[in-house]
């Protein structure tokens, strides 16, 4: 990312002339901050998006980073909730170089606005240390804890077990005998993608980058090796269902059921069965599958499935990771092993997936009743 990509900001002097970075504009200063995340491309891309939105908004108001005040933060948060004029700020996904590109796909949800502010708080903290700005306006927020505390509640963006069970059953519906080879291939691919995501909880970037020989056997057990967020390498146990699924996917590619140690070919393949697929293509594949599943569920259940259909339409690839980790926790996988599967550096991050106590809490709370003599299940005593 360079100066012209982010904004046409004018050259500005650093705060008090004490810059610790070699930059002559806000965009260059932000680019150096983003450079600190070069080892985490997905994080860098997300941070770039939020920084770019801020710089474009400031440029529209002829402000620089060093001029941002506390009241500007409220105005910017309101703008995130309703970017106006819409035709200038909102549009469909297009290449960054396309003149029709827009920085927003739509208004940001409260959670997305909070995440944006968290990222920008970190940006300003770094710029203060770099001597580029004199102060961090986020520190003046009275409700800073509510807005910027990066600790979140339990994960809610996941598919509950009955809905996942229905989805997996739907994914396993075999195309008719007269189906074209392409249809059969796409069926096998999306079935493998969803099974892989559910059984091993990978991030979408890890899935797209996976190679056949990332699956390897050690002392009679199969493991999946991946390099994830922050360049952190990990080996994840491969359960029997995953090994079976891998064998079925490889068979559909006319390969042996188990990968060889020297097999560096992509795990996920394009329609030619050889070339890999990128992260964007994989994202569209998963979202498209969720949309197709929602249509199928709506046709089969009608109004009875309205809530579940809505969830499927909202679901993104990351929901599969949340679903996998949540269901593993509910199945009794210990927290320390769950954290290893998730590649979390903090146990409290993994603990957000622990919904298992809800049922017991709900059962015990049922003892508190308006009806004297009710038992634990709410039935009246005779």
Domains, the chain, ordered by start: 3-148 (1.10.150.130), 161-359 (1.10.443.10)
The answer to whether the pTM exceeds 0.95 is: no
pLDDT in tens, 191-222: 999 999 999 889 898 999 999 999 999 888 99
State both tokens at 194.
């969803």
Considering only CA atoms, which of 195, 187, 160, 190 is closest in space to residue 327? 160
Q: Does 353 have pLDDT greater than 60?
A: no
Q: For 80-99, what is each residue's pLDDT tens digit?
A: 999 999 999 999 888 888 98
What is the C-alpha separation between 32 and 28, in angstroms, rounded? Answer: 6
pLDDT tens digits, one per residue of 216-246: 998 889 999 988 776 778 888 898 999 999 9
What is the reported pLDDT for 182? 95
**CB–CB of 376/178 below 8 Å?**
no
pLDDT of residue 380: 43
What Å distances lie between residue 179 and 110, 167, 174, 175, 289, CA to CA? 44, 21, 10, 6, 18
pLDDT of residue 190: 96
The answer to whether the beta carbons of residues 84 and 76 sit under 8 Å apart is no
| pLDDT > 80? residue 370 | no
**Average pLDDT estimate for 117-122:** 90
Give the confidence band of 367 by pLDDT, cuts at 50, 70, 90.
Answer: low
pLDDT surpassing 60 at residue 298: yes
pLDDT of res. 14: 56
Q: How many residues does the chain have?
A: 382
165-178 tens-digit pLDDT: 999 999 999 998 89
pLDDT of res. 359: 55
Nearest to 343 by CA among 178, 149, 201, 174: 201
> Which range is most confident: 35-49, 90-104, 182-196?
182-196
> What's the farthest any 2 CA atoms get from each other in the chain?
83
């Amino acid at each position: 990312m360079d100066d012209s990509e982010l904004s046409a900001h004018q050259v500005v002097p650093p705060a008090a002339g004490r810059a610790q970075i070699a930059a002559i504009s806000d965009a260059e200063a932000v680019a150096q901050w983003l450079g600190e995340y070069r080892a985490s491309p997905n994080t860098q891309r997300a941070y770039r998006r939020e920084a770019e939105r801020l710089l474009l908004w400031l440029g529209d108001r002829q402000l620089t980073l060093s001029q941002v005040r506390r009241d500007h933060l409220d105005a910017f948060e309101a703008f995130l909730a309703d970017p106006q004029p819409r035709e200038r700020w909102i549009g469909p996904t297009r290449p960054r170089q396309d003149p029709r590109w827009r920085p927003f796909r739509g208004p940001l949800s409260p959670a997305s606005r909070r995440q944006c502010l968290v990222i920008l708080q970190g940006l300003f903290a770094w710029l203060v240390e770099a001597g580029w700005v004199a102060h961090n306006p986020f520190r003046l927020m009275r409700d800073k804890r509510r807005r910027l505390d990066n600790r979140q509640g339990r994960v809610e963006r996941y598919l509950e077990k009955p809905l996942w069970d229905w989805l997996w059953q739907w994914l396993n519906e075999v195309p008719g005998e007269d189906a074209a080879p392409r249809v059969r291939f796409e069926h096998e691919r999306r079935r493998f993608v969803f099974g892989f995501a559910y059984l091993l909880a990978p991030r979408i970037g890890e899935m797209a980058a996976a190679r056949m020989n990332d699956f390897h056997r050690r002392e009679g057990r199969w493991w999946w090796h991946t390099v994830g967020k922050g360049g952190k390498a990990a080996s994840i146990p491969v359960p029997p269902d995953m090994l079976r699924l891998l064998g079925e996917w490889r068979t559909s590619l006319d390969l042996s059921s188990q990968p060889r140690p020297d097999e560096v070919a992509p795990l996920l393949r394009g329609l030619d069965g050889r070339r890999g697929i990128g992260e964007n293509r994989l994202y569209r594949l998963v979202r498209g599958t969720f949309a197709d599943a929602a249509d199928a569920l709506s046709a089969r259940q009608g109004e009875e499935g309205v809530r579940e259909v809505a969830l499927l339409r909202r679901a993104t690839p990351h929901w599969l990771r949340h679903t996998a980790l949540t269901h593993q926790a509910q199945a009794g996988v210990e927290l320390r092993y769950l954290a290893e599967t998730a590649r979390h550096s903090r146990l409290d991050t993994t603990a957000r997936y622990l919904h298992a106590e809800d049922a017991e809490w709900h059962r015990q709370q049922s003892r508190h009743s308006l009806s004297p003599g009710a038992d634990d299940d709410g039935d009246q005593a005779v």
